A and B are shown apart, each in its own frame.
Chain A
Amino acid sequence: MAAPTPVSAYLHSATMVKAGLFLMARLWPVLSGTDAWFVIVTGTGLVTMVIAAVIALFKNDLKALLAFSTVSHLGLITMLLGTGTAFGAMAAVFHILNHATFKAALFMTAGIIDHEAGTRDITRLGGLRKLMPVTFVITALASLSMAGIPFFNGFLSKEMMLEEATRTTLLGSPLLVPVLATVGALFSAAYAFRYLVHVFFGPKREENPGLPHDPGFGMWGPPAVLVAAVVVIGVAPALAEPLVRSVTAAVLGGAAPMPGAHLRIWHGLTPALGMSAIAVTGGAVLLMAFAPLARAWAAAGPPAAKTIFDAIVDGLALLSRTITERLHDGALTRYAAIFSVTVVAVAGHAWATGAAPAPARDMLPVEPLPLAGWLLLVVATLVLVRQHRNRFVALVLLGVVGLMISIGFAYLSAPDLALTQLSVEVVTVILLLLALNFLPRETPVESPAGLRLRDGAIAAVVGLGAGALVFTILVGDFSAPTISAYHLANSYKGGGGTNVVNVILVDFRGYDTFGEIIVLGIAALVIYATTEALLSGPVRARLLNRPVEKVAGDAHPMMMVVVTRVMMPLILMVGVYIFLRGHNEPGGGFIAGLVVAIAVVMQYMASGYAWASARQRVPYHGIIGAGVLVAGLTGIGAWFFGAPFLTSTFGYVRIPPLAEFELATAMGFDLGVFLCVLGAVMLSLDSFARLARRAGIEASEFDIDIDPSRDDAPDTGKAEG
């Protein structure tokens, strides 16, 4: 509204506001005809047309009136683009042209009036007909075109719009669109008449600063040219038809045939003509009753759009804040509960609406031994939940569950998984024991019985859902052929190994494994870094000052020290064996890494941290890094043979005293996996152990604390017998 009027004319009538229409027109071939497009676009256009026309009638600023009239006309064109018929598109194109001519002319006359009379306030204007005859003629022609009077171009496209409206059924009602379109056209006629009558007719206003008179040609020439177009198109629409048709063809984009209708003034006594007559007459009547209507409008205090917008935004913000504060109150437990319930709800919906595959597989028979294992697992789990407040008991039962699962893997044809689960179980329990060293030993009763009941109900429903899902999968067939057949067929031919699981890990899906060992290494480094941060802060002093607990007997019992040291080379050999056979038999880098890690941890446990770390010369970070490097270099090695990253090859080697054996490049990759797993597990456990160190405990000068063969055996402070 603040722009100079020529700029307003340019922006509001022709270009900027039409950009959105251009977009809709370009989308017409793709989207029109769909229900969503029709309801949204036509509905929005219709509502915009009527509301903006009503508002425009009661605006006193000339430019505000024209601006809201533009909004109304854009609503009209939008509505036409939404109907989805080729005739509607043609009417829309024609109205874009007509609207540009008469609206630009009107904006320019508003500028002239502002320039001459010094005001754009309609209530302060009047009687300019005699003072500014040229401007009056131009304004009259343009505004009559806007009102939809015959022999002006606005009439033609408005007739087409009304005709299209009579054919449009919205929300199941054939009357809705025609009635609203007529109402819109009626208010449109009313504000067009008001623009003409209230400014140019009536008494002259004495308070006008200066005496308004017609400006020079330079100012009225441009609108005059536009008004000439208004009249020429209005009288001889055939002249505009080629232009309209070519643009319409572009809009239709071949998605619909060009409508056969021609642009003409007289179509006969059609319903559209009647609606047009109603609109023009009604508009004139509205103008006559304008004074009381304007008072009523002002008294009703129609809400401003900004107020509505602010109220909606405030309401939404309040709503979302309420929801967020209820759901997201900082209690992680509540998030977990909400998450679980949501998952169950979504899964329940899928279950209820989808079709479950019919059972197609025979169930395996239940044998006594697996049944016993299942019983152990279920009982251990239930007792764990019941007794979880005693954390050591919980840990022991967790170990039972893990053992049963690894036995289950072994029974169900997954020896690699069984080995992995077993060794991971050992290091996990050691890790949690180390953690329990610092955490409270008991979990106090805090949540009320109701809350526990609620959690139990949630858990039961989730468990039931998970069990049902697994059962459905197990008795159903694969919905598509799996790629496992490929792996089985190519494991030996392509990967050179008979242990398909290991070949998948180090060959077929080597890139995945590469990423996974890196993740594992990062996790270990995170643990190391956190430990460092803890030990360099105030926590360190607290750890050092915590009371020394009573330890049972010797810290490093002789029997255990001897046994672990004797077993160390044996376990290392087993590790090497598991590593080497991995490509063809159950085993491989993951399991070997875990086994060797357990061997080293045993030394820590039996002989003490100080003793073990004094003999550990390679930093664990280095082992992790070496593992990633070895695996990566093995992969890069393939590049030198023009093959993609991690391509493997294999061959058979014979070194005279030994039998012929196989060497595969995948073994180098598996070595990387081995080193990475070993380093990661050891770095994690080592970090936890470092937290437990106290000042003043140094490595003993002897290899074994208690050595009967030594004369000066240190006093252990424990009397014999």
Chain B
Amino acid sequence: MELLVASSVGVLTAAGIYMVLRLRTFPVIVGTALLSYAVNVFLFASGRLAVNQPPILRDGVSAYTDPLPQALVLTAIVISFGMTAVVVIVALGAYLSSRDDHVNDRPDRPIRQDHQDRQDHHGGGEGAQP
């Protein structure tokens, strides 16, 4: 079981990092979401794994899993929703304002074909670029 949890965190982290390294905002948002999963599971796992030992006190039961990481991760899950929402509105605002959802600020980047209307806004000057 430990191996499954560890490999899940590894796969989620790898996928998250790969997506964060993409050039458009949406894959980056998906990447941060995957990284959030990985981090939350990582934090949760720091209390070690236990099956059928929920931290709900019962008479006659003495073995419970570690409740503290659970409490920390619970708020982390909710906060990561807030973070995702903020990142999304920033990405959305940038795209709606500039019609460009690239992550990187590269003024030297040639104007792409799918941004035809952007050229219209800026006149013909940029059309001369290769």
Contact = CB atoms under 8 A, between A and B. Distances in A.
A200 interface: no
A237 interface: no
Contact of B95 (A439, A467, A526): A439
B99 to A, nearest CB: 8
B104 A332 contact: yes
Interface string B69-104: 011011101111111111011111101110001011
Contacts of B71: 501, 504-505, 509
A385 to B, nearest CB: 5
Interface in A451-498: 455-456, 458-460, 462-464, 466-471, 473-475, 478, 482-484, 487-488, 491-492, 498
A488 B95 contact: no
A391 B95 CA distance: 16
A416 B55 CA distance: 10
A473 B45 contact: yes
Nearest to A330: B105
Contacts of B25: 439
B13 A474 contact: no
Contact of B1 (A366, A415, A470): A366
Contacts of B48: 361, 474, 478
Interface in A10-48: none
A372 to B, nearest CB: 11
Closest 3 CB pairs of A and B: A467-B10, A463-B14, A523-B82
Nearest to A540: B96
B128 interface: no
24 contacts: A331-B106, A378-B11, A384-B15, A385-B19, A394-B27, A401-B37, A402-B37, A412-B65, A417-B70, A424-B81, A438-B96, A455-B18, A459-B14, A459-B15, A459-B18, A462-B14, A467-B11, A468-B10, A474-B45, A487-B67, A499-B56, A504-B67, A530-B93, A585-B56
A337 interface: yes
A512 B75 contact: yes
A523 B83 contact: yes
A40 B23 CA distance: 49
A716 to B, nearest CB: 31
A382 B34 CA distance: 12
Determine the main DSSP class of A at the interface with B: helix
Contacts, number: 320
Contact of A687 (B5, B44, B45, B89): B89
Interface residues of A, number: 118
A669 to B, nearest CB: 14
Nearest to A522: B82
B129 interface: no
Nearest to B10: A467
Interface of B: 1-27, 29-30, 33-34, 37-38, 40-42, 44-58, 64-68, 70-71, 73-75, 77-86, 88-93, 95-97, 101, 103-106, 112, 114
Contacts of B78: 420, 424, 516, 520, 590, 594, 677
A478 B45 CA distance: 12
Given A381-B34, A408-B41, A691 B49 contact: no
Given A364-B1, A470-B6, A530-B90, 9 more contacts: A364-B2, A370-B4, A388-B19, A394-B27, A444-B112, A499-B56, A501-B71, A523-B82, A539-B93
Contact of A394 (B30, B66, B73, B95): B30
B23 A420 contact: no
B64 A519 contact: no
Interface stretch (A69-77, A172-180, A425-433, A561-569): A425-433
A713 interface: no
